[in-house]
Structure 1
Amino acid sequence: MAGGGGADRRRRTGGESCRRERAEMEASIKANLTVQVYVRMAVTVTAYLAFTWSSIVLLGGYVSSLQRKDFQCLTVITVIEATM
């Protein structure tokens, strides 16, 4: 009788530690995913801002005051952002 009770207690304790490890792992994965989502949102917003800014500069009144190299850089930025 005593052996059976101890075995049950060990099973419960082993199961609890397994559940605890699984909960810690889930919390870690959830935190990692949350960080990734916020980073992707920040990158997306930055990309939209860069695309909008470069489009305004290319299509706006600043074209005449840009040097050739600046114009080429803005064109490359706009094309890269449009394909992403």
Structure 2
Amino acid sequence: MDIWWRKPGGGGGEDGGESDRQEKRAELEMALKGNLALQVYIRMAYTIMVYLAFTWSTVVLLGGYVSSLQKKDFWQPG
């Protein structure tokens, strides 16, 4: 199948255009992989920080609430 940027016959040409294209593709692929890895680590750090913030706020709120409870606030049978 001939595509407009390829020469008929499937050859890359005698000027080394195919190898240049492969090198550029490899560089782009490495850049994309690095960018993806950075985004994954940032998202992991963000998730951990959100989890810690939620846990901390729960402890603070419940800690303040528990300290103000009195014995009459608990349900007692009968």
Normalised TM-score (structure 1): 0.65
1:32 matched residue in structure 2: 42
Q: Distance in 2 between matches of 1:7 and 1:60?
A: 81
Kindly indicate which of the two structures has a greater share of residues assigned to helix: 1
Matching of residues 3-42 of structure 1 within 5 Å: 3=15, 6-42=16-52
1:46 matched residue in structure 2: 56
Matching of residues 47-66 of structure 1 within 5 Å: 47-60=57-70
1:34 maps to amino acid: M
Cα drift, residue 25 of structure 1: 0.2
1:2 matched residue in structure 2: 14
1:2 maps to amino acid: E
Cα drift, residue 39 of structure 1: 0.6
2:6 matched residue in structure 1: none
Question: What is the SS of the residue equivalent to 1:19?
Answer: helix
- Superposed CA RMSD in Å reads 1.3
2:10 matched residue in structure 1: none
Deviations 1:24-57 (A, max 9, x none): 0000010011001001100100011111101111
Instruction: Please tell me whether Structure 1 or Structure 2 has the larger radius of gyration of its CA atoms.
Output: 2
Percent identity over paired residues: 7
The count of residues paired between Structure 1 and Structure 2 equals 59
Query: RCO greater where, 1 or 2, for CA within 8 Å and sep 6 or more?
Result: 1
| Structure 1 stretches lacking a partner, 5+ long | 62-84
1:27 maps to amino acid: A
